[in-house]
A and B are shown apart, each in its own frame.
Chain A
Amino acid sequence: MEATGLSLLTVILFLPLVGMTIMFFIPGDQGRNIRYTALGFSLVTFALTLVMWASFDPNVSGLQMVQRWEWLPSFGISYYVGVDGVSLLLIVLTAFIMPVSIFASMASHIFEERGREKWYYLFLMVLEWAMLGAFMIQDLIVFYIFFEITLVPMYFLIGIWGAENRVYAAVKFFLYTLAGSVLMLLAILYVGNQAGTFAIPDIVRAVQAGTLTFPFDGLFSPQSYLFMGFFIAFAIKVPLWPLHSWLPDAHVQAPTAGSVILAGVLLKLGTYGMIRVLLPVFPEATVAWAPIIGVLAVIGIIYGAWVSYAQDDAKKLVAYSSVSHMGFIVLGIFALNGQGVQGSILQMVNHGVSTGGLFLIVGMLYERRHTKKLADYGGIWKALPIFGAISLVITLSSMGLPGLNGFIGEFTILLGTFGSDVLGFFFALFATLGIILAAVYMLYMFQKVFMGELDKEENKHLHPMNWMEYAALVPVLVGVFLIGIYPALFFAPMNSTVTEIVTQVSHFVTTVAQAVP
């Protein structure tokens, strides 16, 4: 399937960069032109990802729409893009979150205070490019570069347009994630060196054929060290408990769009990397470490939820809820069966939509009241009836109400966990407790903000929603209902790819069980 000319993926990937270049030449005082250029490019990109989905063949397990150019042949590095069942929905998600974030940015007032609108949208475009690249690229080195580049625009988004403590948060975010990926780089270099190529599909083929092996004889063996090199980088990105300390800072300080993209897409780079690299390249180490990682994930689910409940800052509450939700996703991946992994991929999308939606809501409240303290609200549903109703739906989707999107992901993940050969009953039991806690903190937030008496004078005369806010929230609602009512549509394209990955890993379950007592 070597495409001549540009494949659709390459077009999608570089479209944001083209947009960025055009915007670069628009003078900074023409805010309107800049905004709409960014919006236009992000919408076209999203439309093209839908075309990509339409032309995607769900029966093929390998990469599709591949384009490969040698770049540094002597090192085995190439520009290599392709899409399969794992990355398809994440690419669509990225392109979906972008216009939503741009609408939210257009509706916000951050530029009145901070200015530099042009640079803001430039960074958003760079960010989109980098995220799309990370999901499309199949070469480890280039993947690593994209993985890291995402940090730069996000760093500036937080550092310049963030809240009071933005500098600290931006630096911490940058340092923390960067530190994690240093080990990954080492591991990448070693793996590439051994394989003679950095192309992931080639490496995976070699591993499956047995021509490339990483010695494994227990939890601590060369393959496990390589596994760890990748895993720590991904786990920080997720973030998996207890590596989550950067997240509340970054989320609380970031501007709304930054939080939406961070939660919506950037965190998924970690879980995506796990499925893309860890499972197929280090199957034995994956199987061996799965129960331990599963324990961390379950702790994260419960801990994140529990800590979330004690927050008095709405944004911090949502940030910690991410720790809990991402725990579900990691758990599903390491269930190492079709239900778990597919549930995780869908839950990545769900979390992007729902938590992104929650951050939008908190942002819109902040726009009106300039506070994120729960205690400053109360009875908002009465002041803003439509906004209240939309918020309720998104809250419910986040706490996993059946019929809405979050439930489908959680249910399939837990179903997979229960039936997993490596995790099983007790993991499912404790993780399922998370659904109780989700109701505890989510309803707490909803009640404190939207219910109760509308008694504070400042809350009585809030602006109704404007069209840009509708434009940001309505697509989220569509996602919430569509995935909740007809998830078969979303499971269909991922099945062959995931089945292939899972089948390969599961071969090792019994052999590893003998190696690891």
Chain B
Amino acid sequence: MYTETYPQLVTLVILVPAIGAFINLFWGARLSERWISAIATVASSLAFLVAVLLYAYLVNNNYQGVVVNPPLLDGWIRIGTSVEIPWQMRVDTLSVTMMLVVSGVGSLIHMYAAGYMHGDPMYHRFFAYLNMFLAFMLILVTGNNFLMMFVGWEGVGLCSFLLIGFWFDKAKGVGWRNSNAARKAMVVNRIGDFGMMMAVFMIFWTFGTLDYYRPGEIANTEFGTHGAEAAHVEGEVAAEGEDTEAAAVTEHEETAPAAASEGEAHGETAVVYTNNDHIPTEQLGVFGKTMRWVEEGGHEVDFGPFSLPFETVLVLITLFLLLGATGKSAQIPLFIWLPDAMAGPTPVSAFIHAATMVTAGVYMMVRSNVWYYEADFTSLVVAIIGASTAIVAGFIAIGQWDIKRVLAYSTVSQLGFMVAAVGVGAYSAAIFHLLTHAFFKALLFLGSGSVIHGVEHGHHLAHAGHGHGEHDHHDAHADAHDHHEEEFDPQDMRNMGGLWRNMPITYLTYVVGTLALAGIFPFAGFWSKDEILADSLVAGVQEGNLRGYIAFGLLILAAAFTAFYMWRQVELVFHGKPRTEAARRAPESTAVMTIPLVVLMIGSIFAGFLNTPAGVLGLDNIFGAHRFSDWLSATVVHAHAGEFQWLLALSALGIAIVAIFLARRFYAKDSPLVGEEQRDPLAVGGFGAAWSLANARLYWDETYYRLFEGPFNALSKFLADTLDWRFWHDYFHNTVIRDGFNAIGELLSKPVDLGIIDGVVNGVGRLTRWLSGAVRGVQTGYVRTYAITLLLGVVIVIVVLLLPLLQTNG
């Protein structure tokens, strides 16, 4: 297979969605819905296709990544020779993984949205934003330097803002609520961006560059040697390689070092390097430099006024990056924007706020694994933040009624798993969980969208004949229910129940998604979550790291919560008896929406086998062992295959099953809700207080308001009104300065009454009078007088001050 020039295509992966966005933005208003969605979906699918070609390239080239310069743009920020930040892309196993996930899941969601958004007046704008998001997300993952990542990082933030606030014009204050949520998301993320910026500055002044890798540099030199060692045993290579061709490449690579040393002697030029030893330190990218400096030891970084040991610098950089990650990946303390972000249309929640954008922080930290691996202190912090986010969000999810909010907190919680994985050094497990999570969480969100859609339809059918179009109420708090007395919320699980009968496909796929998320064998989540737990345990018990114990303890509890709140949701939504007329009459969604559900369901079942551990039920004979970890480790230096531990896997599975049975005990009834007010069975039992706390989301937002937002606003008012305006502007300037000036002027004007000055005054005065006469009509004569006086002032000052000069020079 000829793949040598494929990496050049990486530009297209960004360009195609960008063009799609462009077309829909400018001409979409004139196109039909069919065309709009087709353009956007095709653009997204083409991006996926390119990602597949890039995958093929990597497979044929022993997984070795390359750096690609896009055509036309030869540079970006270039200041002399001191700053050189190019537009440059990186094709390697990590970026291609992300590309495949983003564009693959993205394409399905585009297709789903074509049905979901049907009838929306801003249909074209929606798809333009979706394509724009895709383009920025792909910039984020393909950039070869931290600033390009930041461009994508902020670009996806912008698209998130636009899509959360997509229904900014809804009536009855809903529009304001939506746009507030949008603003909140962007502002909170900006706090994270502050960390990113600081990290970028620090990286620049430490390494003199922001590039991950330079062309020709090998990301993981260990990977090469590993391949070489393995290659000595021919049979093993054939078993490990993707196919015979890949094996051939491996062999070629393996003989290269020998060829290189002999080649020099023979004067041959075809040199293939398997390490970076020939590259001087200053020509390496940031990670190459790090590894070399760590190896050498004792490196100091000079920051002008002070210098720091290299290890300390790495801790600072990684902490600043972590702040960025807590913003984008919704971790404590910045996770509060994500639940509010559910104000956006459901496909957006699935795509941006579950499967792709929010994982950017995890991607970024895994990309920087070389640093996190060296920075012990940061890793501890990362583990604590990730694990506590996982458990806090998991706890809150138990107390929510809104179907999307449960999923939102679940997303926060699962992102916590990924972040904690980074903390314990399980980099490949983090990306593995990112991948599987993209499948099942997108599935669950799209499923919830299908449910909401159905319940809304059911509501319309129940109140048939009120003359409105069927499709203009996608939003939870839709606008046109004027003549219904009570507000109906199609996202409130109290309004659901028994939906499985009418919505079989949605039900089936939703249950699979739930089982995958809960970590039930053999669904995808089981494998990825197990790997994180296992690695935490290894970090704790075998390596004696505190962070391992912390992560393991909190995560296993969070896993139990996960299974519980998900099964609670399944019971409340699909099982039991319908609690409203709307739920009774809710129809199944159309094929354009259910097909993506089915495809994602298949993914949620099988994605876990990408990284089956060795020796489990013979599965590795079918799917290969640790394929995904191997693939990643070509790029992620410290990626390693997780060990499968039967005891741990079985107990985690047991805990999840017990949690599901507990949930069934509480909710698996015809009508699980208690009383007229439809209270949660947990709220009336012995767990009442805890449940209320979860329901109130631990008062997290309220606390922040008290601590930060309120004082910030008050201080802002004080600065603006009192300090700057009343004191500085009015009192100080108008009273102190002006009146003081007048008083002095009065004092001086009396003695200074000389003939010469009068003459000049009259001459210039006449000129100005003429000028100002020409523009007369200024309300009072006041301005004119002032103007003349002031002009005179200039002239006089110049003349007077020039006098001494005349003497010295003349």
Contacts and interface: CB of A to CB of B under 8 A. Distances in A.
Per DSSP, are chain A's interface residues mostly helix, strand or loop, or mixed?
Answer: helix
Interface string A320-358: 100000000000000000110010000000000000000
A240 to B, nearest CB: 14
Given A439-B187, A453-B169, A189 B194 contact: no
A258 interface: no
A425 interface: yes
Contact of B83 (A152, A248, A412, A418): A412
Given A310-B717, A401-B158, A488-B76, A167 B782 contact: yes
Q: Which of B79, B198, B782 has the most CB of A within 10 A?
A: B79
Interface in B515-572: none
Contacts, number: 215
Interface in B763-793: 774-775, 777-780, 782-783, 786-787, 790-791, 793
Interface string B501-523: 00000000000000000000000
Interface stretch (A174-182, A203-211, A262-270): A174-182
A212 interface: no
A6 interface: no
B362 to A, nearest CB: 21
Q: Which of A174, A432, A451, A455 has the most CB of B within 10 A?
A: A451
Q: Which of A245, A338, A401, A492 has the most CB of B within 10 A?
A: A245
Interface in B718-762: 719-721, 724, 728-729, 732-733
A185 B775 contact: no
A383 B262 CA distance: 74
Contacts of B201: 414-415, 418-419, 428, 432
B169 A307 contact: no
A373 interface: no
Contact of A381 (B168, B170, B729, B801): B168
A440 B716 CA distance: 11
A306 B715 contact: yes
B258 interface: no
A152 B77 contact: no
B165 interface: yes
A220 interface: no
Contacts of A447: 165, 179-180, 182-183
A465 to B, nearest CB: 16
Nearest to B790: A174
Q: Which of A159, A396, A424 has the most CB of B within 10 A?
A: A159
A178 B809 contact: no
A159 B783 contact: yes
A182 B183 CA distance: 46
A453 B170 CA distance: 6
Contact of A310 (B150, B303, B306, B716): B716
A116 interface: yes
Q: Which of A171, A488, A499 has the most CB of B within 10 A?
A: A488
B305 interface: yes
Interface string B120-149: 000000000000000000000000000100
B191 A411 contact: no
A452 interface: yes
B159 to A, nearest CB: 11
B724 A307 contact: yes
B798 interface: yes
B622 interface: no
B797 A185 contact: yes
A379 B305 contact: no
A172 B808 CA distance: 36
Interface of B: 73-80, 82-83, 147, 150-151, 153-155, 158, 161, 165, 168-176, 179-180, 182-183, 186-187, 190-191, 193-194, 197-198, 200-202, 204-205, 303-306, 713, 715-717, 719-721, 724, 728-729, 732-733, 774-775, 777-780, 782-783, 786-787, 790-791, 793-794, 797-798, 801-802, 805, 808-810
Given A75-B809, A420-B304, 11 more contacts: A115-B777, A148-B794, A159-B783, A311-B720, A396-B158, A412-B79, A419-B201, A419-B303, A419-B304, A436-B190, A451-B165
25 contacts: A115-B777, A152-B787, A174-B786, A178-B793, A185-B801, A192-B805, A193-B805, A242-B728, A245-B732, A306-B720, A310-B717, A310-B719, A310-B721, A401-B154, A411-B77, A411-B197, A415-B204, A419-B205, A419-B304, A425-B303, A432-B194, A432-B201, A435-B190, A487-B78, A488-B76
Interface of A: 74-76, 115-116, 119, 148, 152, 155-156, 159-160, 167, 170-172, 174-175, 178, 182, 185-186, 189, 192-193, 242, 245, 248-249, 303, 306-311, 320, 338-339, 342, 379, 381-382, 396, 401-403, 407-408, 411-412, 414-415, 418-421, 424-425, 428-429, 432-433, 435-436, 439-440, 443-444, 447, 451-455, 485-488, 491-492, 495, 499
